[in-house]
Amino acid sequence: MATLALRLLGISGSLRSQSANTAVLNTLSNRLGHQAEMSLFALNDIPLYNADLEAQMLPASVAALKEAIAQSDGLVICSPEYNYGTSGVLKNALDWASRPGFNSPLKNKPVLIMTSSPGVLGGVRAQAQLRETLSATLSRVICSPQIVIPGVNQKIQDGSFIDEKTIKFMLAAVDDLIREIKVIP
């Protein structure tokens, strides 16, 4: 009997229509094997975190994000670096998703983090910050060789990420993520 593919949720830290980070995730999604499938959740409609909004009625977009995370087997996050940190858009979404504190949909969720940048460091500082932020949410950020993608603008063609070496590297990291998901489903 065929086993069901694991459901991964991709989250890009950029809202830009031509985003390199979103292109990386879309390409990865298209290259996944039979073990997993990945859909992307766009953060465009997530409002700025406000505890008053949370107390009154959770915005529909935030409820959808939290539900998508809860329904997924694991997350794949790809973030740009803004001023040596992750994007405000992504940090804000993680803040919403991290509620209630220490008991949110992010708790125990296996997560693969990646960063990309047109610069030479590939967003490595944003990646360190993301790891720290996610540790506060009690998610299980996997330990695998860090995926940082420098010079990303040269590796995008017609909206696709074309660096085969990095694609293989990412697929190996997804295998690590799948192993982590299977340790504690």
Ligand X SMILES: Cc1cc2nc3c(=O)[nH]c(=O)nc-3n(C[C@H](O)[C@H](O)[C@H](O)COP(=O)(O)O)c2cc1C
**What is the nearest approach in angstroms of ligand X to the Cβ of residue 161?**
11
Residues 19-48: x where in contact with ligand X by CB under 6 A, - otherwise, as a string: xxx---------------------------
CA distances from 68 to 6, 32, 42, 62, 177 (A): 13, 19, 11, 10, 18
Smallest distance, Å, CB 149 to ligand X? 10
Residues 83-102 touching ligand X, rule: CB under 6 A, are 83-84
Q: Which of residues 109-128 bind ligand X (CB under 6 A)?
A: 117-119, 121, 123
Instruction: Give dist(CA 92, CA 49) in Å, integer.
Output: 6
What gap in Å lies between CA 39 and CA 42, rounded to an integer? 10
**9, 14, 66, 96: which one contacts ligand X (CB under 6 A)?**
14
Q: What angle do CA 139, 104, 126 make, to 5 degrees?
A: 45
DSSP track, 145-182: S-EEETTGGGGEETTEE--HHHHHHHHHHHHHHHHHHH
Min dist. Cβ of residue 83 to ligand X (A): 5
Does 59 interact with ligand X (rule: CB under 6 A)? no
> Is 16 one of the binding residues for ligand X (CB under 6 A)?
yes
**Residue of 10, 36, 40, 80 interacting with ligand X (CB under 6 A):** 80
Count CB atoms within 10 A of the CB of residue 156: 19
Give contact residues for ligand X (rule: CB under 6 A).
14, 16, 19-21, 80-84, 117-119, 121, 123
